[in-house]
Amino acid sequence: MSIMIEVKDVVKTYKLYRKPTDRLKESVFPTKKQYHENFNALNGISFEINKGDALGILGRNGSGKSTLLKLITGVLSASSGTIKVNGRMSAILELGAGFNPEYTGRENIYLNGLMIGLNRSEIDTKMDGIIEFADIGSFIDQPVKIYSSGMFARLAFAVAINVDPDILIVDEALAVGDVRFQMKCIEKMKELKAGGTTILFVSHATEQVKRFCNRAVWLKDGVIEAIGESSEIVDLYEDYMKYNSGDNGESNMKTADSKVNDEIDPDMILPSNPDIVASITKVNINETKFKTFDQVEVQVDYEIYDKIIHGLLIGVALYTPDRQYIFGPNTYLEKINVPNTHGRHQVKYVIPRLPLLGGTYNIDVGLFNNEGIVCLDYKQEAAGFTVVNKYFSEGLVYIEHNWEVLR
């Protein structure tokens, strides 16, 4: 298997100054006193990425993710250690990076194409495809300084993913575009992945990493906390974040007293915002009070405004009021085909024997596409219920069990 990127013992040290004048003093009197402190944003990082890998990079704010990507793309240089890159790389780092604000969109496509090593005629053959993908109309011939952040994202993505890169690097940028554009990008990124392109992907949306990437690395305070199979690393990371993020989700607490929430116009009026491609219109639960082992039925009504949504899935998740995640199956993982064409649809989720013990529980419902990579609509705490029993056991769930008297 060929190694596309090799990162070895990499350290990146930034100089931190208490005041801007300290930086000035140091540059004016370089041999005198030091006015800075050294800070290692990356502290001895080593890993390899093979051809065709999609590597997700996880870590809380300030853990060193962007610094790592900037070193790999050569925007920054390492203080020590080595980075070897094998192949043509295109990257979407901070939005607007690599663009000249005075140039038009079209001129910036040339600029970017040349930067990643294409010649003029290669860019010419790809030009129409890039412009069509970006889909920003006549803005393509306007200077990019007048672009909105969404237009920037469209152009940056269109260029980066349509130039046949061997390595594609994406730093959070996907979050900027609208849902329809996100779907298009994911489709294209899947195509590239299938064709053997190596992808590095920073995202705070851990579900995207779990579903899109086969491997993941978790950075913590500038060192690798864990690296390996993406679903394992995401689980470890989420577990850590649950107890260390300072946000236990309590702000979203809601009691379970309503049978129906989030009802919208039943006559399928198209949404005024054309970026909405589908929505959950109604979530209905058969009861609000259950006993353990009762049957629970959750009916989900949804509408699709596009002609078809490829890879549509519905997920239903059970939570405690303090947002402890209990169970979250989805129709993709369980290979259930759900209607995905224009129109109004209804799906029922049934738990034949509820194993939960006494307490209050909430239900989230989500519509996603592409194996859950892009969220089309999400209703947090769309329904809720309580479980009340005569005292017969303790804990959260009833687990089937036996007792044996051995002596």
CB contact burial 267-304 (16+ within 10 A = b; e otherwise):
eeeeeeeeebbbbbbbbbbeeeebebebebebbbbbbb
Q: Are 29 and 187 in contact (CB under 8 A)?
A: no
Residues within window 208-247 making contact with ligand ATP, judged by CB under 6 A: none
- Cβ–Cβ under 8 Å, residues 181 and 103: no
Q: Select 205 or 338, whichever has its Cβ closest to ligand ATP.
A: 205
When asked if residue 65 is in the footprint of ligand ATP (CB under 6 A), the reply is: yes
Cα–Cα nearest to 204, from 69, 61, 370: 61
Nearer to ligand ATP, 61 or 272 (CB): 61
The contact pattern for ligand ATP, residues 366-405, with x = CB under 6 A and - = no contact, is: ----------------------------------------
Which residue lies nearer to ligand ATP by CB, 108 or 230? Answer: 230
Binding mask 90-129 for ligand ATP (x = CB under 6 A): ----------------------------------------
Cα–Cα dist 38/17, whole Å: 9
Q: How far is the CB of 197 from ligand ATP (least distance, A)?
A: 23
Element (H, E) at 49: strand 36-50
CA–CA distance, 113 with 161 (Å, rounded to integer): 11
Assess contact for 84 and 78: CB atoms under 8 A. no
Q: Which residues 24-63 are close enough to bind ligand ATP by CB under 6 A?
A: 39, 41, 59, 61-63
Q: Pick from 45, 67, 177, 331: which binds ligand ATP (CB under 6 A)?
A: 67
Minimum distance of ligand ATP from residue 128's CB (angstroms): 34
Q: Rule CB under 6 A: is residue 73 a binding residue for ligand ATP?
A: no
Query: How big is the site for ligand ATP, counted in residues (CB under 6 A)?
Result: 12
CB of residue 61 to ligand ATP, shortest distance in Å? 3
* CB nearer to ligand ATP: pick between 94 and 232: 94
The rounded distance, in Å, linking the Cα atoms of 153 and 245 is 28
Q: In this complex, which beta carbon is closest to ligand ATP, that of residue 2 or of residue 149?
A: 149
CB of 218 to ligand ATP, least distance (A): 11
Q: Tokens 């006193």 sit at which residue?
A: 33
The 3-state secondary structure of 287-344 reads CCEECCCCCEEEEEEEEEEEEECCCCEEEEEEECCCCCEEECCECCCCCCCCCCEEEE
**Minimum Å distance from CB 372 to ligand ATP?**
22
Q: DSSP letter at 221?
A: T
CB of 297 to ligand ATP, least distance (A): 41
Distance CA(155)–CA(144), nearest Å, equals: 9
**Can you tell me which of 3, 6, 11, 14 binds ligand ATP, judged by CB under 6 A?**
14
Angular region, 260: left φ>0, alpha ψ -120 to 50, beta rest: beta
Q: How far is the CB of 219 from ligand ATP (least distance, A)?
A: 7
Q: Which residues contact 287 (CB under 8 A, 6 or more apart)?
A: 294, 296, 385
- What minimum distance in Å lies between the beta carbon of 212 and ligand ATP? 18
**Between residues 29 and 39, which has the closer beta carbon with respect to ligand ATP?**
39
Q: How far is the CB of 405 from ligand ATP (least distance, A)?
A: 56
Q: Which of 407, 366, 365, 359 is nearest to 386 (CA)?
A: 359
| Shortest spacing between CB 208 and ligand ATP, in angstroms | 15
Q: Is 64 in the site for ligand ATP (CB under 6 A)?
A: yes
- Comparing CB distances to ligand ATP, the nearer of 14 and 103 is 14
Binding site for ligand ATP (CB under 6 A): 14, 16, 39, 41, 59, 61-67
